């Protein structure tokens, strides 16, 4: 470690100027003199919870026989080739697959709830609790996984948690089958009666992270000038660089380059969407790309920057809506998402939906790579992050919730070994796995979660094969 003698920075240090507030990444200068970064108290793990809506082709009866989601073999010697998870194979060191778990709280409990799976499922994913059927404001579900963690380990960061989404979540009033739209609009609940809004616009996320502009007029003026928030703190940056050693200077420059590049990309999206030309996503905010992949990557980049600067430790991320009619041409099929999910059990149609599933999974390696590139002394952000990725639905064609797709990625601060497929006994609630994950994250005083019936054993030896 090398830095100019005498400089000692706090882990959470900001550069401020003209309404901008840029938190710094981890630097060697933040380590007390005479100590190695490995000797510092461990930071709590970062957490990302990502919902894959409406199940997977591999959870249909025929798709399961073809291993279209879960690999055939349990343990470490599994083959992902036929699976929608195949894009994650280079990252199997950081991959834990848990198959054969149920999300029964998303099922209809009474006759009048039948048919409401679309408007109930998302609220169940992270709460594992059965939502109250209501069109009014008296909504009730459960406190979500991400918010339980944020309440314990997110309160000492500037933003305790952030909730992001890709598709619009601004419906109001009641949806179908007697359910409030809020149940399908969010996956995060700070309490059983308090759902949290989700952010679709990358510009809004960027402004929250970097305080770019003291008011709306200030931000609009800067955008018209095509200026960067970093232009407002040039003096602060130059002064800091004179105090840092070469390693920290390189790390700081790489971080600031990332900030500037993400801001540039958001500006380019806004400029393109404000030309007046017809958009693929009519009515979407100017900062929202029409391209699904571009939108996903921007959201992933913003999450990585937020973790690097320690602005927050907790994200939830809703990537779609159950009944979405969006088409994903890059997936290899032109069938809209929701019609594709209702494949009728036909093998060719199941493979169409499989193409969409695999395309969605193919977005994840970009995020894993971004986290892997960001170091924090003796480890990377990927090593210190737990990423949940799954669905409260199994077979979207039948609207069932048995044997749902669920994987965990990242090292979680050494708590997860990865490179393993674990198959649960029949009838195991997904809530059992989530309860065990809460324990691994440091909340071992929590005795139950949702409809858990116990814990799920995750204690497997750590993988040794490196990511490609």
Helix (H, G, I), strand (E, B) or coil at 50: strand
For residue 361, the model assigns a pLDDT of 98
For residue 331, the model assigns a pLDDT of 96
Query: Residues 239, 298: one domain?
Result: no
For residue 142, the model assigns a pLDDT of 97
For residue 466, the model assigns a pLDDT of 38
Within-domain flag for 8: no
Within-domain flag for 467: yes
Q: Give bridge partners of residue 162 from the DSSP assignment.
A: 315
For residue 463, the model assigns a pLDDT of 41
For residue 182, the model assigns a pLDDT of 93
Query: Residues 389, 430: one domain?
Result: yes
**How far apart are alpha carbons 75 and 304 in whole angstroms?**
30
Angle between helices 292-308 and 364-373 (to 10 degrees): 30
Indicate the burial class of 82 (C-beta count within 10 angstroms; 0-12, 13-18, 19 or more): middle
**How far apart are alpha carbons 276 and 125 in whole angstroms?**
38
Within-domain flag for 24: no
Q: What is the DSSP string of 209-220?
A: HH---SSHHHHH
Domain of 211 in residue numbering reads as 205-287
Query: Residues 325, 463: one domain?
Result: yes
Tens-digit pLDDT string for the chain (468 aa): 333 344 567 776 777 775 677 888 888 888 776 555 555 557 899 999 999 999 999 999 999 999 999 999 999 999 999 999 999 999 999 999 999 999 999 999 999 999 999 999 999 999 999 999 999 999 999 999 999 999 999 999 999 999 999 998 765 556 889 999 999 999 999 999 999 999 999 999 999 998 754 555 655 665 555 568 888 788 888 888 888 888 888 988 999 999 999 999 999 999 999 999 999 998 899 999 999 999 999 999 999 999 999 999 999 999 999 889 999 999 999 999 999 999 999 999 999 999 999 999 999 999 999 999 998 878 899 999 999 999 999 999 999 999 999 999 999 999 998 999 999 999 999 999 999 999 999 999 999 999 999 999 996 544 433 343
Within-domain flag for 183: yes
Question: What does each C-alpha distance from 319 to 293, 297, 402, 417 come to in angstroms?
Answer: 11, 12, 21, 26
What's the DSSP call for residue 76? S
pTM: 0.92
Query: Residues 282, 339: one domain?
Result: no
Question: What does each C-alpha distance from 214 to 18, 48, 221, 243 come to in angstroms?
Answer: 8, 29, 11, 28
For residue 465, the model assigns a pLDDT of 38
Query: Residues 458, 425: one domain?
Result: yes
Query: Residues 300, 276: one domain?
Result: no
What's the DSSP call for residue 420? E
Within-domain flag for 3: no
Close Cβ partners of 442 (under 8 Å, ≥ 6 residues apart): 44, 45, 152, 153
Within-domain flag for 138: yes
Query: Residues 104, 241: one domain?
Result: no
The tally of domains found in the chain comes to: 2
Within-domain flag for 9: no
Query: Residues 171, 186: one domain?
Result: yes
Q: Do 86 and 69 meet the contact criterion of CB atoms below 8 Å apart?
A: no
Query: Residues 268, 328: one domain?
Result: no
Within-domain flag for 26: no
Query: Residues 109, 218: one domain?
Result: no
Close Cβ partners of 445 (under 8 Å, ≥ 6 residues apart): none
Query: Residues 130, 209: one domain?
Result: no
Burial 139-176 (b: 16+ CB within 10 A, else e): bbbbbbbbbbbbbebbeebbebbbbbbbbbbeeeeebe
Identify the CATH number of the domain in which residue 334 sits. Answer: 3.40.720
Query: Residues 393, 283: one domain?
Result: no
């Amino acid at each position: 470690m090398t830095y100019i003698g005498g400089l000692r920075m706090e882990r959470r240090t900001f550069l401020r100027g003209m309404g901008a507030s840029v938190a710094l990444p981890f630097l060697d200068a933040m380590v007390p003199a005479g100590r190695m970064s490995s000797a510092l108290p461990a930071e709590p793990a970062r957490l990302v919870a990502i919902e894959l809506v409406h199940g997977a082709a591999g959870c249909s009866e025929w798709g399961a026989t073809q291993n279209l989601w879960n690999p055939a073999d349990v343990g470490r010697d599994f083959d992902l080739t036929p699976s929608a998870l195949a894009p994650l194979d280079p990252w199997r060191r950081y991959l834990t697959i848990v198959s054969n778990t149920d999300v029964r709280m998303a099922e209809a409990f009474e006759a009048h709830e039948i048919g409401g799976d679309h408007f109930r499922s998302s609220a169940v994913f992270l709460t594992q609790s059965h939502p109250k059927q209501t069109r009014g404001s008296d909504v009730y579900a459960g406190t979500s996984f991400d918010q339980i963690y944020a309440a314990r380990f997110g309160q000492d960061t500037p933003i305790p948690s952030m909730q992001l989404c890709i598709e619009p979540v601004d419906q109001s009033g009641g949806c179908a089958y007697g359910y409030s739209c809020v149940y399908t609009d969010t996956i995060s609940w700070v309490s059983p009666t308090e759902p949290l809004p989700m952010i679709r616009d990358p510009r809004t996320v960027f402004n929250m992270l970097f305080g770019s502009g003291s008011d709306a007029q200030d931000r609009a003026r800067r955008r018209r000038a095509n200026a960067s928030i970093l232009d407002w703190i040039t003096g602060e940056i130059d002064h800091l660089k004179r105090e840092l050693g070469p390693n920290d200077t390189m790390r700081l420059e790489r971080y600031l380059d990332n900030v500037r590049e993400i801001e540039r990309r958001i500006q380019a999206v806004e400029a393109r969407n404000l030309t007046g030309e017809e958009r693929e996503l009519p009515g979407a905010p100017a900062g929202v790309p029409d391209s699904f992949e571009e939108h996903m990557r921007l959201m992933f980049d913003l999450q990585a920057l937020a973790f690097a600067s320690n602005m927050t430790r907790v994200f939830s991320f809703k990537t779609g809506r159950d009944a979405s009619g969006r088409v994903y041409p890059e997936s290899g099929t032109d069938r809209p998402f929701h019609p594709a999910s209702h494949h009728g059990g036909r093998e060719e149609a199941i493979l169409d939906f499989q193409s969409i599933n695999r395309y969605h999974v193919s977005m994840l390696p970009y995020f894993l790579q971004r986290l892997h590139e960001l170091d924090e002394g003796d480890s990377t952000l990927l090593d210190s992050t737990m990423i949940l990725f799954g669905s409260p639905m199994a077979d979207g064609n039948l609207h069932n919730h048995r044997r749902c797709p669920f994987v965990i990625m990242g090292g979680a601060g050494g708590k997860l070994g990865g490179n393993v497929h674990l198959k649960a006994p029949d009838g195991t609630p997904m809530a059992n796995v989530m309860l065990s994950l809460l324990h691994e994250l440091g909340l071992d005083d929590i005795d139950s979660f949702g409809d858990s019936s116990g814990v799920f054993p995750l204690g497997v030896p750590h993988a040794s094969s490196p990511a490609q």
